[in-house]
Structure 1
Amino acid sequence: MNKPYLYILLLAVTIFSACSENKEEVTFNEKDLIRDIVEGIAQPNVRNFTQETKKLQDFFTSYNDAKTIENLNILKTQWKAVALQYSLVYTFNIGDVKNSFFKLKLNNWPATTNAIENFIRDKDVTAENIMNFGSSAKGIPGIEYLIFSENVTITNDKLVNNTKRVAYLGAIIDELHNNAMAQEALWDTYGDYLINNEQQSIKGSFNLLFNGLNNVIHFAAETKLGKPAGFIKTGGVNSEILQAYYSTMSLELIKANVESVKEVFFKPNSINIASKIDFITKDTVLSDKLNTQFDLILNAIASIDDPLVTSLVTEKDKVRVVFDELVKLEILFTADVRSALSLIITGTDGDGD
């Protein structure tokens, strides 16, 4: 090989190598994704929940001042707002929040109604007694039982004629708001941790967040729908184990769960999980499949005319479709998404929301 040709060849190799070294590697900024989820969805939902519990507290004060059916109905409407907002908060029951047992403090359902009645009959309504009392007799389910378990006239009469019943209701509403404020305070610091956490794999922030989403879908399918409907071995239909049985809001809360998880995947004008999937897979096939599956669930829910308390029997075929579509979404999460994003599924809780 002559020297001029060798020189040209070496120069070309050098230029190519330099260009390759200077070429920036295109990566997905996962920290920005975590920030958008935490600051754009999780923390606002937590703050809104605290605000809704404060409104509940204020409406109880109004009711306590004037125990009318009108004021009781206002209180019941606000309870529904609290329950719906918590369905959005539970999407992020992970890490330090989960380990602080806020789910149990806020929404440990179903309510232990006998315990509530026995407390009202036998114990004094003191701060210490309330604090030491079982969580399933308080929180969102305990309040629901006291104001929804009978028609509004009977409920109002019971409260008017029993000062301890009113005192107990007020005490557990106060405790709910205090726990909501404590949860919000924890999220102020835990949110920063999630954003700045540099650990990977099972302890990584994205892995934690994804497992929280999977947990919501799993319990919507199994505990909120499958077991009450008798689709999972429970001995047939049992509407009494539905979440929000007394208020007949079970289906609305499942819908809120699904919409909350979908938002984390597809929130517009933000970095979302779908954008991460598209970046990794180099196409939109999987994210399109997920979007379609979310819509199938929400459309199936919309097709049910009556509350789950009755539709478990009267519209069982439609309820079955919702259950089946939820299961399909969970399979997409634990198989397709897990594989595409190299995630570790850590299992689901034993309690649901």
Structure 2
Amino acid sequence: MLSQLRRDAGLAQGELASAMTSQTKERISNGTFSDLERGIGAKPPRRDVVLFYLKHCLPRWRADAAPKEERRADVLRKLEALEALHERIKELAVKPHPLETDQNPARHVSNSVSGTVAGSVIQARDIHGDVHLSGAPQWQAVEPSDLKVAISSLHSMSGGWFHAFSRENTQVAESFAKDLELPGDQAGMDALFDRRLRAGAYVLSHPGLPACAVLSLFNPGSTHEVVVRDVQVTDKTDGPIVDGIAYLIEAGGMNDDPITFYLDSWFPVARLIEEGVDKGRYFVSRNIRVAPGEHVMLPLKFDAEKSSHAFRLTVRYQVRGRQLSTVVDHHGQPFRVSPTARSQVGAGYEAAYALAYDDSGAPRLTALAATDLPSWLG
């Protein structure tokens, strides 16, 4: 789909890679660009990649305006079909059998997926060959994961646990404000925060007050070391800055030199920040080794200034010569991060609530007037 569009426009892959590099300010390797062009595994190309191709290829295509618009509509229809198929594959809980190290994945042009599918067999082309949905399971049993990955915390660590609901979610947000008395222990606060995230809250990120996560990596094996090769932001979607109802919950500490993702960039990659200085991509010359039975806590930071973002994390690792990956999200939902509304001219919060203590010392929610908001938030 995209490769043919590029060829019809007379563009080499390197030309588009250069244009993408100029736009994102990130050097993109040929291998990475090829993955972006055709999608990875059974996943279709990302929608923002498709729109990038349409923007750069259609003007170069020697055709009248009408055929160009027809081609654009056809590409978007195919993308929607591929996205729908991918969602169906995920519903079937597909787990592909990992390739042996001496096999070339390019030769695997036809794969089968277990699960019951109504109607005829569906084929999705221009991914990595063909993907077939059929009722006959043909995958071998997959070994238990050699790496257990989880988010042990997700909040704005340096100045408080700040999060907000969008204006579309105001009714849900207000329901949390009805119970003014807050839990008096950390476990209760964690549970409350978790419920709000599940209900659609966004963690707020602000310069100096970043959204942070601690990624917990555990090797449950007893023999083999796990080597983490990359942590990637995947399935990212962008939206408006969230400016509905804000909650200011509790102060916390800040991890030193976390791995940082700039979510506003077109293709966020893990970067090493040391004492505020960007040292470049983290995993270019580094990896993280997790010994058998070992826990590794990996602090991550997510910066955003222009848009809100929903995303998942994909951890890519190697064990016993096999290249594997696992996806991390929040109980099946994507992580959500938004800049504070002050970052957007003219935006403001309809309401805000902050942690306070009554005369007995019990924590309670207190409604804040606009004049009471912190200067960086109001």
TM-score by length of 1: 0.24
Higher normalized strand content (fraction of residues): 2
Higher normalized helix content (fraction of residues): 1
Q: Whose Rg is larger?
A: 1
